[in-house]
């Protein structure tokens, strides 16, 4: 039956009215969002923005779906096991909006393709694997150089976090206190520390659930969807130019399980005194569970 249905963009997104005007919907239809990484949050971001009516996408991911992704990744089903994640998510977007302009790259980002990947983008969204910090730093540095707003949102437990980076605020490296002279382990600690300064999820998350061989930790579709909702709302703010964003060093975390919201501002990013003290606690916990060694064994790309 679906083959006989004529797609109508206005009808498909008519229920957005009252939240998004007809004029604004036409604007979203012309906007291009690029998403690096199509696994957990990346696929959820794409799904959310496609249903908001964003009309142009460019997505990439070198990985394929596996059964271990079923608990949280939107594109992971029995039918897609073994398929490239970017290709599956591109197909999902087109299934929602056949008129959408969708490009996908079955590879990760690097110096060789970051320019073309960001070309013409109105918004950049980070869906890169947590441990792929070199690629993530490259993405945010390139977006800043091009003057394109960039978002990162982490699913931590049953919570989602949001950080917005623009030329009007701190850079990604400045906020997280990252540099090329640091070890990969130190960068991972700083990244985790800056994602959620309030750490609302810590009280119920069992850190012993982290796999010491890979460093992969507990994850949930609740956190993924929370992060995607935060990104979706921020995307509306940015793409439609409705209001100024709270850019880094401002941060936001909402925990659905504890029903708590934390938002604040770190004027010095991770270099502030309180953040440095929190870092000591994280390092101690990692050593206690042997995670410092586990993280250092991860193959960084």
Say what the pLDDT of residue 207 is. Answer: 76
Q: pLDDT tens digits, residue range 81-94?
A: 999 999 999 999 99
Phi, psi of 167 (to 5 degrees): -70, -10
pLDDT at 6 over 50: yes
Q: What does the block give as tokens for 273?
A: 């005194």
Name the pLDDT band for 296 (thresholds 50, 70, 90).
low
Question: Nearest CA to 103 among 64, 66, 57, 63?
Answer: 57
Say what the pLDDT of residue 47 is. Answer: 98
CA distance 155 to 132: 16
pLDDT at 298 over 90: no
Say what the pLDDT of residue 300 is. Answer: 53
Please check whether residue 162 is in contact with residue 226, taking contact to mean a CB–CB distance below 8 angstroms.
Answer: no
Q: pLDDT tens digits, residue range 121-177?
A: 999 999 999 889 999 999 999 999 999 999 999 999 999 999 999 999 999 999 999
Say what the pLDDT of residue 5 is. Answer: 84
Question: Nearest CA to 253 among 230, 276, 225, 280?
Answer: 230
CA distance 225 to 153: 10
Tell me what percent of the residues of the chain surpass a pLDDT of 70. Answer: 94
Q: Which of 53 and 288 is assigned the larger pLDDT?
A: 53
Q: pLDDT tens digits, residue range 41-52?
A: 999 999 999 999
Name the pLDDT band for 215 (thresholds 50, 70, 90).
low
Q: How many CB atoms lie within 10 A of CB 140?
A: 24
Say what the pLDDT of residue 301 is. Answer: 47
Beta bridge partners of 148: none
Q: Does 2-202+218-267 carry CATH code 3.90.1150.10?
A: no
Mean pLDDT score of the chain: 93
């Amino acid at each position: 039956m679906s083959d006989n249905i004529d797609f109508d963009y206005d009808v498909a997104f008519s229920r957005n009215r009252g939240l998004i005007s007809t004029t604004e919907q036409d604007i979203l239809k012309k906007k291009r969002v690029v998403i690096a990484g199509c696994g957990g949050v990346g696929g959820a971001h794409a799904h959310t923005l496609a249903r908001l009516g964003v009309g142009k996408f460019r997505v990439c991911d070198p990985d394929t779906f596996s059964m271990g992704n079923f608990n949280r990744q939107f594109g992971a089903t029995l039918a897609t096991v073994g398929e490239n994640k970017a290709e599956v998510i591109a197909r999902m977007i087109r299934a929602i909006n056949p008129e959408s302009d969708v490009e996908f790259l079955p590879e990760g980002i690097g110096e060789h393709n970051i320019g073309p990947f960001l070309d013409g983008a109105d918004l950049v969204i980070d869906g890169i694997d947590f441990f792929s910090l070199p690629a993530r730093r490259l993405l945010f540095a390139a977006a800043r150089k091009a003057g394109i707003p960039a978002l990162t949102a982490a699913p931590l437990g049953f919570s989602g976090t949001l950080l917005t980076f623009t030329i009007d605020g701190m850079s990604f490296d400045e906020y997280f206190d990252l540099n090329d002279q640091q070890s990969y382990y130190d960068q991972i600690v700083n990244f985790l520390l800056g994602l959620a300064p309030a750490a609302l999820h810590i009280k119920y998350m069992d850190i012993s659930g982290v796999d010491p061989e890979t460093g992969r930790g507990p994850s949930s579709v609740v956190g993924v969807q929370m992060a995607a909702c935060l990104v979706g709302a921020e995307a509306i703010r940015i793409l439609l130019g409705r209001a100024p964003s709270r850019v880094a060093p401002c941060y936001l975390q909402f925990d659905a399980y504890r029903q708590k919201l934390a938002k604040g501002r770190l004027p010095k990013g991770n270099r502030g005194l309180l953040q440095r003290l929190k870092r000591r606690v994280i390092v101690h916990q990692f050593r206690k569970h042997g995670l410092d060694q586990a993280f250092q064994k991860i193959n960084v790309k």
